Amino acid sequence: MPPAARVLLISSSVVYGSGYLDHAAAEIAALLGPAERVAFVPFALRDREGYARKARERFARIERSLESVHDRPDRRGAIETADVIFVGGGNTFRLLASSTGMGSSRRFGPASAPGCRTSVRAPGPSWPARR
């Protein structure tokens, strides 16, 4: 039987007095395990470059490589080949509207594939990405 899906939902990226994802760094590292390549989906915010830079810097501190799918001409390929998918939160409408047409909508949703590793950060209700 395949291993159970693993999902980490984080309701806020910053806790008062700490930096971006600092309060969840240990949980994120534990979820990632030996996985090194993280595909970041930054479409919930308008400033994708800034959002990707912030996420890339944070993941580098836990020794993981993060690639923002908005930087890749083949966004679907970036998601399909990643060890882990990290979906950044913000404006869910913007996220869904921007993700439409990427050809990877089957990779997202409340259902998770066996053995997936997932991390989602959102300020409110959201949905997990799957890998």
Q: Which pLDDT score, from 0 to 100, does residue 72 have?
A: 87
C-alpha span between 75 and 57 (Å, rounded): 21
Lowest-pLDDT range of 45-49, 78-82, 98-102: 98-102
C-alpha span between 129 and 95 (Å, rounded): 12
In degrees, to the nearest 5, what angle opens at C-alpha 66 toward C-alphas 61 and 70?
A: 140
Q: Which residues contact 118 (CB under 8 A, 6 or more apart)?
A: 5, 6, 7, 8, 31, 84, 85, 112, 128, 129, 130, 131
pLDDT in tens, 43-57: 878 888 999 999 999
pTM: 0.70
Tell whether domain 6-104+115-121 is in CATH 3.40.50.880: yes
Lowest-pLDDT range of 90-94, 110-114, 118-122: 110-114
Q: Where are the domains of the chain?
A: 6-104+115-121
- Band of residue 2 on the pLDDT scale cut at 50, 70, 90: low
